[in-house]
Structure 1
């Protein structure tokens, strides 16, 4: 069953009042002054009007909302950090379970673990773990929500050395579709635990995660930052990068992209507004080996800027947050790539020259090293053969430019897609239909559908990249 098959009946006002009385957190409706702020998500292109937003204070609030929604036949959306590409954290006419008030983080430095509430961002987690010299593999922005990124897989700076976020997940506390709270780990609800590691929000509401932490740099200090090249050099840089990256020590990782140099410090003013090819590097190994390990990436070609420097890992994670505040217009397209082919490089060069706005960009994130050493069937995330998760995003603050950024991203993707592996990283997927959701999971899809049938047989959690329960017709 797909999203279009659902209607959104409205509950009676008295019922909403009864729900509000049972919650420890506030219930926000269209009559409340904070409604518009509460329904806003990271992608400013998403403008939906939920019936009510429950800012849950605890697992009991989450359970109460689930029971209420199912009893009333009401749509149910779940919001963590709000970064989701498709904006599934809100939905017209839905009751939104908003976890953003659940933000506690508890570090066990001796055990190298961290317990994280479902409403946390990765900035919350890094702020707690990096002072101990540790981090959990995450993404590339501190403002990203823990829940959305972790449940979709979690590709980031630490993936080459320590694997994906799901590879460091030790357990999860989950409120299920019937309102019960369970802990999923390798021995308790193991099928659910498998599905949570890449299967998205299909199986329940994760109210807390427990992750393994890993040593990063010297007391949390890494060497990182961008190396920028003239856009005309992009084909040469991409050919060099695709060959070099798999040969590098796993302590060094870097993503490559095409972008416009921001008109702000710390970039030199003479480079502001210039289109460029960028590689953002992160080295997490011993400081005394940094110079030797990074020499090949520091010295290649004729860079416009070499911005490599020691910094806390948390600072690298926050580097792009200011450039991409919440509320910008975003249009996403994405694919997985096993190689950066010459044909792909030609397409990148063409559309890099056509970047429509200063925020629009293309990124390729590596998935190799430790991330490859996990069997493709061991977690729901299936792409363990090496390569890159690619994303094309048209971005701008002005809604008037929505058409331009959308058309550029679509045209770019249309030409690039034939060079791809055919699948997609689910965290980069918009509302693109059942076939694209299937492509995100490959051979793992059928097992995910069986787990869905076990834990959410009525598809209560369908406002997401939906995996219908096994036996349910799709279309």
Structure 2
């Protein structure tokens, strides 16, 4: 953990020597209770979502990310159902002193959304979105992908700047700045962020905006995921679509010089 102003920040992939120990039931002799097992079971019971451990059949599928070359083995994967689950997971991970990685879309090429021996807090099942067409605002949970966000906003002929691959998660893209095809006209994804709900390292759920915790809101707009775990984003929308003319223009190689000269003049 590190301090940034008044806010304690989660350094998601800081190298640690500590390992999160999650013992198996078979490790405990018959008739003897084990406080660490009691703790993890109490943690599981406090979740609305799902806890996946290395012994579970779903573990190998749950630890996969978009880049198949990444092969990390977390000690626990928490599929959160709501912000309360995120608070619960952060509080438990803090009590254990373990490494935390956060996954939404899991699209990061370097595999930063999974870790060895620590806890993965997975937001991919948090997909609620509400579109206020009159005010041109979308309130979107962090588990949504770009394609899912676009589908919801395009129902009203609205959109905001996002990336170019529909299976990318909105969370990592927005927190990293977020460049997309609408950027030249409407700015980056983070430029269109009006507010965000975030769970801080000490387990607080805060709403941030230009007027609420503005220094933290400033940091979230392109500063990456190390200031906490954003559970909900509020975006400014713009009238675009739903009918769009899209496509590729191809020229024969023999016409390359002519085509490039035209493109230079046109640009």
TM-score, normalised on structure 1? Answer: 0.49
Length, aligned pairs only = 243
More helix by share: 1
CA change 1:223–1:4 in 2 (3 A) is same
Matched with 1:143 is 167
2:77 is aligned, of 42, 53, 73, to 53
**Distance in 2, Cα, partners of 1:141 & 1:239:** 30
Please give the secondary structure, in 1, of the residue aligned with 2:155. Answer: helix
Asked if 1 retains the 8 angstrom alpha-carbon contact of 2:160 and 2:192, the reply is: yes
**Distance in 1, Cα, partners of 2:250 & 2:186:** 26
**Distance in 1, Cα, partners of 2:55 & 2:168:** 29
Matched with 1:221 is 243
Shift in Å, 1:163: 1.0
1:129 is aligned, of 141, 150, 153, to 153
Asked if 1 retains the 8 angstrom alpha-carbon contact of 2:14 and 2:99, the reply is: no
**Distance in 2, Cα, partners of 1:120 & 1:7:** 33
Given the alignment of the two structures, is residue 22 of structure 1 paired with residue 46 of structure 2, yes or no?
Answer: yes
Given the alignment of the two structures, is residue 11 of structure 1 paired with residue 21 of structure 2, yes or no?
Answer: yes
Shift in Å, 1:240: 5.9
Within 5 Å, give how 1:22-101 maps onto structure 2.
Answer: 22-101=46-125
CA change 1:36–1:236 in 2 (3 A) is farther
Shift in Å, 1:4: 6.6
Asked if 2 retains the 8 angstrom alpha-carbon contact of 1:105 and 1:124, the reply is: no
Shift in Å, 1:167: 1.0
Shift in Å, 1:5: 3.8
Query: RMSD of the TM alignment (CA)?
Result: 2.1
Q: Which runs of 5+ in 1 are unaligned?
A: 248-475
**Distance in 2, Cα, partners of 1:4 & 1:108:** 39
Given the alignment of the two structures, is residue 186 of structure 1 paired with residue 196 of structure 2, yes or no?
Answer: no
**Distance in 2, Cα, partners of 1:164 & 1:31:** 42
Asked if 1 retains the 8 angstrom alpha-carbon contact of 2:22 and 2:75, the reply is: no
Shift in Å, 1:7: 2.3
Asked if 1 retains the 8 angstrom alpha-carbon contact of 2:197 and 2:207, the reply is: yes
Shift in Å, 1:42: 0.7
**Distance in 1, Cα, partners of 2:117 & 2:256:** 46
TM-score, normalised on structure 2? Answer: 0.85
Please give the secondary structure, in 2, of the residue aligned with 1:178. Answer: coil
**Distance in 2, Cα, partners of 1:78 & 1:235:** 48
